[in-house]
Amino acid sequence: GNPIHFFDLPTLEDRRIVVRRARSGEKLITLDDQERALDEEMLVIADGRRAIALAGVMGGAATEIGDSTRDVLIESAWFL
């Protein structure tokens, strides 16, 4: 399948996303409230400042949509 994720747009630095490898020592709190230690082998979705999702696995808590969300960014991926 193709993973799809919704981000609360105003929470994104630069209001855009990029796909990149995680940086050594980088951490991400995912939607299940678990702090994940990331490494260079992991692919992440990032905004202009930080990792915001573990690509194809789970989104980050900091960009989660909620009742007050009005603008969203929809990300759909196809990993080869």
Nearest to 52 by CA among 78, 29, 75: 29
pTM for the full predicted model: 0.92
Residue 52: both structure tokens together: 């915001």
Q: In the prediction, which pLDDT does 80 show?
A: 73
Could you tell me the CA-to-CA distances from 75 to 19, 35, 44, 66 in Å, in that order? 11, 22, 12, 17
Burial class (CB in 10 A: 0-12, 13-18, 19+), 41: exposed
Q: In the prediction, which pLDDT does 6 show?
A: 97
pLDDT digits (tens, 9 = 90+) for 46-55: 999 999 999 9
pLDDT digits (tens, 9 = 90+) for 35-79: 999 999 999 999 999 999 999 999 999 999 999 999 999 999 887
